Structure 1
Amino acid sequence: MRHIIFLASLLFFFSCGDKKSSNEKFLLDSSGSINNVSVVIDNKLWNGNVGETIRTVLAKPIYGLPQDEPTFSISQIPPAVFSDFVTKNRTILKVEMNKEASFKVLKDVYAKPQKVILVSGKTKQDIIDLITQNEEKIMETFRNEEIAERRRQMSKSPHKFTSIKEKLGLSIQFPSIYEVAKETDNFFWFRKDITTGHSHLMIYELPFEALEKSDSTVIQIIKIRDSIGKAYFKGRLDGTVNADGDTVSSFMITEDAYAPFHGETILDNKPTFETKGLWELTNDFMGGSFINYTIEDKVNKRWVGVEGFIFAPSVEKRNYMLELEAIIKSVKID
């Protein structure tokens, strides 16, 4: 009798395990291009004020790019055709009418990883109000999902630069396609060739007294990055002699005609200054976008700077900058 009970228990255990495994397999891998959001909404709503509100939020131009590019590309899907593979997109905004007003952020509903934001309401104004009130939450949810996805993609071929940890006491994730362009005891510069240009990442440390928290913090950060640009990032014409017989000096600086964005955030549980804007070369016509994070490392009594910038004329830059942001936000300081 005891043998029968034991066998029954084993069968129950394995059947539960099979059921769990079956449920996990049911959720297929999500898909979709980086920075593309599927919006499930009736055509009439999409072509009216509700759709206009959604487009205003999701397609808002990204600050810090030379030309206007939307934060997200949008694929509108009528509810009647929202089924099968169409439901597998990584980021989905779904609008439901004639229901109680509600705003929900759901995880792994139709696939994984996936974020689904469900907005419902009894009237069009309900929907508009909820989207407007939760604009920051919507953008943060979808952007974090895209950063996580880009990081997952890059983790398939990680770099092997152990000297970063040895010299700077930190780890950071980026793909092996990046090559070292410059390395010193407290400064690293990595470069990757991209379509029509190149993408750059630099990591460095500064003495704690090099930066003071004040109303002029952004000015201090710009001066620091400009001094680094002058030291390391020279233009094609630097050192050449012009028609007047003068030696040309060409190096990277922050473009002063475009006011940089400056804010405060948290990175690796540490207070961090975020700065983004445009860069240019003196006495040359090259330029592009940059994003800089300056991290307060109180334990080691220093500041850690991590910056990404690109040169990519004639192509969209949004996805390149997302990759650099994903890399920077992976930093872990010992």
Structure 2
Amino acid sequence: MKQAGTLFLLLTLLFSSCKESKSKKYLPSSVGAINSMVVVIDSELWKGSVGDTIRRHFAAPVVGMPMDEPLFTIDQVAPKFFTGSIRNTRSILYVMEDSLNLAHVKTDMYASPQRVGVIKGTSKDEIIENVRAKADDIITAFKDMEIEAAQKRFERSLSKETVLQDKFGISLNIPSIYKVGKQEDNFVWIDREIQRGTANITVYEMPADSFSNDSTLVKDIVAMRDSIGALYIPGPDVPNKITHMRTEPAFAPYVYPAEIGGLKGVEVRGLWDIKNFPMAGPFLTYILNDKENNRKLVLEGFVFAPATEKRNDLFELEAILKTFKIEGVKN
């Protein structure tokens, strides 16, 4: 009886194991350049009003850039050519005229990580309506996945610098190619070389009661950035001129609610320039309300790369800043 019971248990485990292995779907790793996507759609639809609507949403200019750069670089593929390795693309939008009227996002259909936005309609007008209704959700799904994919790439070689922990009690997952360029009592500047310029991260803190008036929020943010620039981010030497980083005075920055690492705050996007010198570029700032440590934390990324596209460099900085964590009380 004991042997029979043991045999029954082994057979049960074997059956369960086989059933589990069959239910698992083993997928190849997804591919694709950063912030790129494939739109699977009939060529006639792509050339007409449906394609125009898709491009209006998914190739809209990135907010706060010095020159127009699209949210996504788009490749269009007709459904009959959507085969083989192209199915492993990380971000896919599948659009077709069909007997169904639907719009949703699927996860890891052909590869991992992968998001597939599916939009169908019984007519062109229905497809357009579904694109308009679902585009923001699909864009968010694509961007969140891109952020996570970038953060996983960082983990291959992370900086071992402890300056952020030592000064502010925080951590960021920063690739080892970035180096600390400047540190003061309340300011750290970390950067790396990119094509024709630099990608930069700055971290500092402000009093807890900063930005208490919503009606002057944008003005107060600009004043903060300009004062920090004057203190810590000088421009090139120009005879008889004061040069430093500031917020581009001709363009008000965009401000959105944000939450990172469990702290709520705002996300700010806009343009910086150098006072009295022709240098400029995009910036992304997070101002976080750290009540436990009685302060506002400011994390900023900015790019300097004249006459080149900056979307992907700023996106990398966004991915880094979104790894923010409170590690402990600062020294």
- Displacement after TM superposition at 1:142 (Å): 1.1
Q: Given that residues 285 and 300 in structure 2 are in contact (C-alpha distance below 8 angstroms), is that contact kept between their aligned partners in structure 1?
A: yes
Query: Cα 1:250–1:89, aligned 2, differ >3 Å: closer, same or farther?
Result: same
2:256 corresponds to = 263
1:297 corresponds to = 290
Deviations 1:75-116 (A, max 9, x none): 111111112211101111111322321111111111111111
- Displacement after TM superposition at 1:23 (Å): 6.1
* 2:192 corresponds to 1:192: yes
Identity %: 37
Q: Given that residues 201 and 301 in structure 2 are in contact (C-alpha distance below 8 angstroms), is that contact kept between their aligned partners in structure 1?
A: yes
Alpha-carbon separation, structure 2, partners of 1:281 and 1:16: 66
Q: Given that residues 233 and 252 in structure 1 are in contact (C-alpha distance below 8 angstroms), is that contact kept between their aligned partners in structure 2?
A: yes
1:126 alignment partner, SS class? helix
* 2:66 corresponds to 1:66: yes
Alpha-carbon separation, structure 1, partners of 2:28 and 2:5: 37
Alpha-carbon separation, structure 2, partners of 1:19 and 1:162: 48
Alpha-carbon separation, structure 2, partners of 1:11 and 1:184: 67
2:56 corresponds to = 56
Give 1:157-236 correspondences, 5 Å limit: 157-236=157-236
- Displacement after TM superposition at 1:333 (Å): 2.3
Amino acid at match of 2:123: T
2:71 alignment partner, SS class? coil
Deviations 1:180-206 (A, max 9, x none): 011233321101000000010011111
1:325 corresponds to = 318
Alpha-carbon separation, structure 1, partners of 2:277 and 2:303: 16
Amino acid at match of 2:262: N
Calculate the aligned-residue CA RMSD, in Å: 1.8
What stretches of structure 2 of length at least 5 have no aligned partner?
Answer: none
What stretches of structure 1 of length at least 5 have no aligned partner?
Answer: none
- Displacement after TM superposition at 1:5 (Å): 5.0
Q: Kindly tell me the number of residue pairs found equivalent between the two proteins.
A: 327
- Displacement after TM superposition at 1:131 (Å): 0.8
Alpha-carbon separation, structure 2, partners of 1:304 and 1:85: 44
Q: Given that residues 218 and 275 in structure 1 are in contact (C-alpha distance below 8 angstroms), is that contact kept between their aligned partners in structure 2?
A: no
TM-score, normalised by the number of residues in structure 2: 0.93
Amino acid at match of 1:86: I
Give the stretch that moved more between structures: 127-136 or 24-33.
24-33
Query: Cα 1:21–1:198, aligned 2, differ >3 Å: closer, same or farther?
Result: farther
- State which of 280, 293, 296 in structure 1 corresponds to 2:273: 280
Q: Given that residues 98 and 120 in structure 1 are in contact (C-alpha distance below 8 angstroms), is that contact kept between their aligned partners in structure 2?
A: yes
Alpha-carbon separation, structure 1, partners of 2:11 and 2:179: 55
1:124 corresponds to = 124
1:38 corresponds to = 38
- Displacement after TM superposition at 1:12 (Å): 4.8
2:139 corresponds to = 139
